[in-house]
Structure 1
Amino acid sequence: MQFGIFTVGDVTTDPTTGKTPTEHERIKATVAIAKKAEEVGLDVFATGEHHNPPFAAPANPTVLLSHIAAATERITLSTSTTLITTNDPVRLAEDYAYLQHLADGRMDLMLGRGNTGPVYPWFGRDIRQGVELAVENYALLRKLWDEDVVSWQGKFRTPLQGFTSTPRPLDGVAPFVWHGSIRTPEIAEQAAYYGDGFFHNNIFWPISHTKQMVALYRRRFEHYGHGTADQAIVGLGGQVFMAKNSQDAKNQFRPYFNNAPVYGHGPSMEDFTEQTPLTVGSPQEVIDRYAAMREHVGDYQRQLFLIDHAGLPLKTVLEQLDMLGEDVVPVLRKEMAAGRPTHVPDAPTHASRVAAAGGHKDSTVYADAEDVTGASPTAQ
């Protein structure tokens, strides 16, 4: 099972000091956090995509992830999420294939509709067509990765005629895709239809809701013939803050919780931790809470934690990573492995997907088209 962290890149004032990081400080801190995640033995680092304050998350996550790929050796790089609704599928196909080459395959991506309504008109889209956009754009993205030459016509972009997306996927194997959704059954259906992963970022939801969404995805995964329901590829989001002593954790995190831009000034921290996966306490409390997740959703493949939000200073986040890597994840790995059926797969990786496809191959398209018109001289 894979364990990792994700960031939304929020630029939030530290309520205990009154200091607000600059965008530069927040961006550099994100890189330090990703490198620390690899250092402590985590499997995945994921970044969100945002186009507005108060976020310094990248508008194009491949920029940040390419930089981190050059500074790391082992950790898988992902997104949380890439907006399939407002990005051009042609650009997504090219950018993420390029990242795949730079990272030597240790990347995947999570696609989603986003949680910021105004992003649709910013990019000339209609939020009322969000699900339609997600379905059509992903169908084209898959086609661009799976076929060397694509002719296509749809509703939301100009047609393509004899188009080749470059670079081609590394080793002829497209990046693995997770479909991220909190509340939309159509996205769970889409993930199941293609046999892709389904990521339920349930940081604001009760486990009963998460259980329903994952169960729907599993049933439909089996319906489409990709395997049994318990072989479906599931990921969950989570949120933790730890101290060696549970009361110290609560005391330290409370001012950050109370002033967080998303859930601050609402339910109490105690009510929120009871109703959602947010766990504030000792490492053992985190272990107990997350080891029990599979009782609700079955054996799953990826668990990502949000730990750098709400104005927490970099020093504190790095300390949280030390505890996560030293005290929590090794125990959770053993807990999750115990009793896991042998037919339940691990999270797909580039290496496993290449092996399943029959091994490495050169997927380069050696074409003789010229630069001005794209036409082949031999066809004239």
Structure 2
Amino acid sequence: MQFGIFTVGDVTPDPTTGRAPTEHERIMAMVTIALKAEEVGLDVFATGEHHNPPFVPSSPTTMLGWIAARTERLLLSTATTLITTNDPVKIAEDFAMLQHLAGGRVDVMMGRGNTGPVYPWFGQDIRQGIPLAIENYALLHKLWREDVVDWEGRFRTPLQGFTSTPRPLDGVPPFVWHGSIRSPEIAEQAAYYGDGFFANNIFWPKEHFQRLISLYRERYAHYGHGSAEQAYVGLGGQVFMRRNSQDAVREFRPYFDNAPVYGHGPSLEEFTEQTPLTVGSPQEVIEKTLTFRESFGDYQRQLFLMDHAGLPLKTVLEQLDLLGEEVIPVLREEFAKGRPAGVPGGPTHADRVAAAERAAGDDDRAASAAFGARA
């Protein structure tokens, strides 16, 4: 199982001081956080994609390429790549290039984002969000798997004899997660292709996400990719820790109350009761995170949001120390207990290359057997 962090890259004033970081400070803080994630033993760093203030990560592959050059083991991902407003050709090229530079330590999470105005900024119609997601990904999937592509669809100019360059590393495209918080069509899309489904369950009660994940698992099996239990599921989460629970609640409350995404709404206590948000001791984070398997089954990736709402960089780095030293080792051990042998681990490039080689060998043996039978 893979553990990591994701960032939305918000530039938010610290409610305790009133000071907001500059865009440069925030960008460099995100890099520092990624390097710290590798240092403390996390598996994944993921960044969102936004094109509007107060967010800064408008070019995820640029940032991830810089981080790739300064890390050795960390898996680099997006927390959202806007499949609706980015050209699939450019996504294919950018992530294949990043894959080569990072030695395969790359995957990508497709999403539609949460900012309506981004659609006209990039020449698209928000009312076509789902059809855009479906058609654009169909093209991207094809571009990564066929050397020469002919294509005609509703939303972009046709392609004739087109080759996306560079080709995916080792002939194996980056693993794709389809992220959604509300759309069964996206769960269906992930299942159809045998890709991963990431339920960023940080805002709503678990019952909503149980329905989406169950649909994805059922349809994954329906399309013949494996059993429902073998489907690739990722989950979001939010934590803030101090060794003493009361200290954690007291320190985090002003950040929660003024956060741009959920401030001035439900109370901190209501939110922690109804969502995965955990504010307390490392042990409380462990206990609540372990309940996710009870709700959603065995899964492959757990990402935590830890650097939002104006939290100072120093505080975030302290959080990562606690996460890496006291929380993740216990979670790894506990999640491994009772995990069925047939449930896959988190996807890696090496594992996927090996699987492709096995599949090619099986095809060769089947072809030889068929030829021998005819002879």
TM-score by length of 1: 0.94
Matched residues in 1 for 2:308 and 2:317: separation?
Answer: 12
Task: For 1:51, give the aligned amino acid.
Answer: H
One-letter code aligned to 1:49: E
Task: Specify the alignment match of 1:374 in structure 2.
Answer: none
1:250 aligns with 2:249: yes
Partner SS state of residue 53, structure 1: coil
> What is the match of residue 196 of structure 1?
195
Following superposition, the deviation at residue 94 of structure 1 comes to 0.3
Q: What amino acid is the match of 2:47?
A: T
Give the whole-Å Cα distance in 1 for the aligned partners of 2:87 and 2:346.
27
Q: Structure 1, residues 78-120: CA drift from partner, whole Å, max 9, x if none?
A: 0010000000000000000000000000010000011111111
Which consecutive unaligned segments of at least 5 residues does structure 2 have? 361-375
Q: Which amino acid aligns with 2:9?
A: G
* Partner residue, 2:89: 90
Paired position in structure 1 for 2:165:
166
Q: Secondary structure at the match of 2:95?
A: helix
Distance in 2 between residues matched to 1:348 and 1:195, nearest whole Å: 12
Deviation at 1:60, TM superposition (A): 2.1
Cα distance in 1 between the residues matched to 2:312 and 2:217? 39
- Encode CA deviations 1:34-93: one digit per residue, 9 max, x unaligned: 000000000000000000100112x22100000000010000000010000000000000
Aligned counterparts of 1:358 and 1:192: Cα–Cα separation in 2: 23
Partner secondary structure for residue 237 of structure 2: strand
How many Å separate the matches in 2 of 1:195 and 1:243?
40
Q: Secondary structure at the match of 2:238?
A: strand
Distance 1:348 1:27 in 2: 28
- Give the superposition deviation at 1:348: 1.3
- Please state how far the C-alpha of 1:222 moved relative to its aligned partner: 0.4
1:258-296 CA distances to partner (integer Å, 9 max, x unpaired)?
110111011110001111111000000000000110101
Q: Secondary structure at the match of 1:292?
A: helix
- Number of the residue aligned with 2:372: none
Aligned twin of 1:228: 227
The corresponding residue for 1:153 is 152
Number of aligned residues: 359
Q: Match for residue 102 of structure 1?
A: 101
CA distance in structure 2 between the partners assigned to 1:205 and 1:53 by the alignment? 24
What SS class does the counterpart of residue 236 from structure 2 fall into?
strand
The separation in 2 between residues aligned to 1:30 and 1:13, in whole angstroms, is: 16
SS in structure 2 at match of 1:111: strand
1:33 and 2:37 are equivalent in the alignment: no
SS at match of 2:240: strand
SS at match of 1:238: coil
Task: State the alpha-carbon separation in 1 of the partners of residues 150 and 55 from structure 2.
Answer: 37
Give RMSD over aligned pairs. 0.9
In structure 1, the partner of 2:369 is none
Are residues 1:259 and 2:258 paired?
A: yes
The match for 1:185 is 184
Q: Secondary structure at the match of 1:97?
A: helix
Instruction: Name the counterpart of 2:70.
Output: 71
Measure, in 2, the Cα distance between the counterparts of 1:120 and 1:167: 28
Separation (CA, whole Å) in 2 of partners of 1:189 and 1:37: 32
- Rounded to whole Å, the distance in 1 between the matches of 2:329 and 2:115 is 36
Query: Could you list the runs of 5+ residues in structure 1 that have no partner in the other structure?
Result: 362-380
Question: Could you tell me which residue of structure 1 aligns to residue 210 of structure 2?
Answer: 211
What is the distance in 1 between the residues matched to 2:112 and 2:288?
A: 29
What's the counterpart of residue 43 of structure 2? Answer: 43
1:237 alignment counterpart? 236
SS of structure 1 residue aligned to 2:298: coil
CA offset at residue 17 of structure 1? 1.1
Aligned equivalent of 2:6: 6
In 1: Cα distance, 2:204 partner to 2:142 partner: 34
For residues 189-231 of structure 1, what are the alpha-carbon distances to aligned partners after superposition, in whole Å with 9 as ceiling and x for unaligned? 0000000000000110101111111111000000000000000
Q: Compute the displacement of 1:22 (Å).
A: 0.2
Which letter does structure 1 place at the counterpart of 2:210? K
Q: Who is 2:301 aligned against?
A: 302
Say if 2:68 is the partner of 1:53: no
**Does the alignment pair 1:176 with 2:175?**
yes
Quote the Cα distance in structure 1 between the aligned partners of 2:90 and 2:161.
16
